[in-house]
Amino acid sequence: MSVQERKQRERADRERLIVATARELAEQQGWDAVTTRRLAERIEYSQPVLYSHFRGKREIIGAVALEGAAEMAAAVRAAAAAADGPRARVTALARTYLDFAERNPAVYDAMFQLDGGLAFADVDTPEPLKDGFAALLESLGEVAGDGVHPALFTEVFWAALHGLATLTRAGRLPPGDAEQRVELLVDRLAVV
């Protein structure tokens, strides 16, 4: 391995460490606790080293969001692939999405609530975000119904899932009815 390759590998390792540490800290204490000073202390590098990877907290949030989008896409695809038939795929997708939001609240916030400097629904949208939407579209497109554009249906279904995830987390919805909400969403929106 050349010196240049080793330096590139070390840089990538440091970047992964920064993102993992930010994510861990945010999940434990919230995003307000994530500061460059605290991150530098935790990873045992100086703040200038941190700034050589990310210009600030906004870019770190963006990196966590991209990582989360890739994880969510993989989870949704795995759940849909394990399900038999369109209705079961959509139900598995919805459960998996809501479970991801519940288990990873700081990552979910980075993806959809906080400013990570990422473009959505744009030509400049980063690939992991596009792929996250594509993972939803793969299962939802087949149940959009006649005359309904699959991407538009996916946006509406996704918005409903996001609303459920956000309202549940905020304690605005009774926790015991989660399964009935998923069934109602699938029954009323999806043409299966």
Q: What is the mean pLDDT of residues 53-67?
A: 97
Judged against a pLDDT cut of 80, whether residue 171 lies above it is answered with yes
50: Cβ–Cβ under 8 A, 6 or more apart, which residues? Answer: 18, 36, 39, 40, 43
Q: What percent of the chain has pLDDT over 90?
A: 93
118-143 pLDDT tens trace: 999 899 999 999 999 999 999 999 99
Q: What is the mean pLDDT of residues 175-189?
A: 93
- Please say whether the beta carbons of 134 and 81 come within 8 A: no
Query: What's the confidence (pLDDT) of residue 1?
Result: 78
**What does the alpha-carbon distance between residue 16 and residue 100 come to, in Å, rounded to a whole number?**
21
